[in-house]
A = this chain, B = another copy of it.
Amino acid sequence: MQDTKKRRNTGQITLFDVAKYAGVGTMTVSRALRTPERVSDKLRKKIQTAIDDLGYKPNVVASLLASASANRLIAVVTTKICDHSTRILLNSLQTSLAKDGYTTLIIETYHYHKNEAQLINALYSQNLAAIVLFYVENPTIIEKIVHRKTLPIINIGIQSYSCININIQPDDSLAMLMLTEYVIKQGYRHIGLLCANQQYHLFQQRLHGWHRAMLAHHLPTHRIINAAKPASFATGSELLPEMLLNWPELDALICTTDELAGGVLNECHRRHIRVPYQLAVCGFGDSEFSQVCVPPLTTVALPAELMGQHTATLLLKQICPDIDDTETDLSFLIPIIKTRASL
């Protein structure tokens, strides 16, 4: 009836205090909280009273240490450049994981470039089930996370790392190649590319797809602006005049995001340039905006919803390897072109 262990006084109310107050052993209190059906009604009520009277709050950290059980917690490290299509991928992933009882923590590294050690420590201080690197391009951060690797890591959106368990690479280059080929097939020949956020791998992938398609069809690839500005409405509006000045013969303009294309559309309205008759415009991402703007934007998107679900499956398989690992068929993950009036 008496734990004999000595205890320091940290001011915190512990299981032991509750047990003493209720006149039972600590284990009975522990059980009353975690598996109440294994404690008799009489004691359970007494314990509940003690908890209420003392205002006891469980210490989850101690519980984690003692039980060595992993939290059903998955951290997603990400930057803030995510455009619409990547955001859908992330949402789909979160929803799928939530269905299996996993909570997703999002950490935006944007704020912590100067304090990586702290980020790493934060990541590893919570008995995570896994870490997802979502379009993280900072190699220092990746290196440090992988170096302390004690759990499954999954890398989405940038080049593969052999030291990482799962690498998922949405093929933005292919999507842009398909879109560009579609534009060419429609008869356009003076096709420009407007790319922003040039510092990010994702956008260079899209640029690369355009480049491949143009070369494959023996078309010139010089009509291009590759800017370091954000891929936003404002940037689109701002850069259209520059494109038109440099290449007045332009008959189609492909933008690396729908937001850029939206800015371009607005600027066309302002200048009374008729889309698509004087200039065809395409976006990337199949955002909601692209569906309702005037004219609606032709755009392309990867099946982000499906990709998210598939990624969740892979991740859960990694966490619980007992699940059968029949290789899933990924051929359905092909980009989809949305044909609309802007072309």
Bound complex: CA A292 to CA B111 (Å): 27
Residues facing B in A266-315 (CB within 8 A) are 266-267, 269-270, 288-289, 291-294
Q: Is A105 close to B, CB under 8 A?
A: yes
Complex: chain B residue closest to A59, CB-CB: B65
Known: A111-B94, A288-B234, A294-B266. A125 touches B127 (CB 8 A): yes
Copies of this chain assembled into the complex? 2
* Pairwise interchain contact A148-B57, C-beta atoms closer than 8 A: yes
Q: How far is the CA of A62 from the CA of B126 in the complex (A)?
A: 10
Task: Determine the distance from Cα of A233 to Cα of B124 in the docked complex, in whole angstroms.
Answer: 40
Stretch in contact with the other chain, from A40-48, A112-120, A195-203, A206-214:
A112-120
A294 contacts which chain B residues (CB < 8 A)?
Answer: 266, 269-270
CB of A104 closer than 8 Å to a CB of B: yes
Question: A216 interface residue, CB < 8 Å from B?
Answer: no
Which of A24-32, A68-76, A175-183 forms part of the interface with chain B? A68-76
A64-B105 Cα distance, complex, nearest whole Å: 19
Contact check, A103 vs B122: say whether CB atoms are below 8 A apart.
Answer: yes
Q: Write the residues of chain A forming the contact surface with B, with a CB cutoff of 8 angstroms.
A: 10, 57-62, 64-65, 68, 71-73, 75, 80, 91, 94-95, 98, 101, 103-108, 111-112, 115, 118-119, 121-122, 124-127, 148-150, 232-234, 236-237, 262-263, 266-267, 269-270, 288-289, 291-294
Taking a contact as CB atoms closer than 8 A, the residue among B94, B111, B126 that contacts A125 in the complex is B126
In whole angstroms, what is the CA distance A62 to B66 when docked?
9
A297 to chain B, nearest CB (A): 11
The CA of A262 and the CA of B240, in the complex, are separated in Å by 21
Q: Write the nearest CB–CB distance from A253 to chain B, whole angstroms.
A: 16
* Closest B residue to A108 using CB positions: B94
**CA of A71 to CA of B126, assembled, Å:** 10
Contact (A288, B233) CB under 8 Å given A98-B115, A105-B107, A118-B72: yes
Say whether, besides A112-B98, A293-B266, A103 and B126 are in contact (CB < 8 Å).
no
Asked whether A61 lies within 8 Å of B65 as measured between CB atoms, the reply is yes
- Residues of B with C-beta under 8 A to A98: 111-112, 115
Contacts of A107 in B (CB 8 A): 103-106
Residues in B whose Cβ lies below 8 Å from that of A270:
294
From known contacts A95-B111, A98-B115, infer whether A127 and B292 are also in contact, taking CB-CB under 8 Å: no
User: Which 5 pairs show the lowest CB-CB distances between chains A and B?
Assistant: A60-B125, A98-B111, A106-B106, A269-B294, A103-B122
CB distance from A7 to the nearest CB of B (A): 13
Interface contact A266-B237, CB-CB below 8 Å: no
Q: Smallest CB-CB separation from A63: which chain B residue?
A: B125
Distance between A96 CB and nearest chain B CB, rounded to angstroms: 10
Known contacts A125-B60, A127-B61; decide if A103 and B94 are in contact (CB<8 Å). Answer: no
Residues of B within 8 A of A288 (CB): 232-234
* Assembled-state Cα–Cα distance A106/B75 (Å): 10
* Residues of the B chain whose Cβ atoms lie less than 8 Å from the Cβ of A68: 10
Q: A61-B127, A107-B103, A125-B61 are in contact. Are A292 and B266 (CB under 8 A)?
A: yes
Most buried by B among A91, A126, A266, A288: A126
Extra 14 A-B pairs, beta carbons < 8 Å, given A72-B118, A104-B108, A236-B292: A57-B124, A61-B126, A71-B121, A71-B122, A71-B125, A95-B111, A103-B122, A105-B107, A106-B107, A233-B293, A234-B288, A263-B292, A266-B292, A270-B294
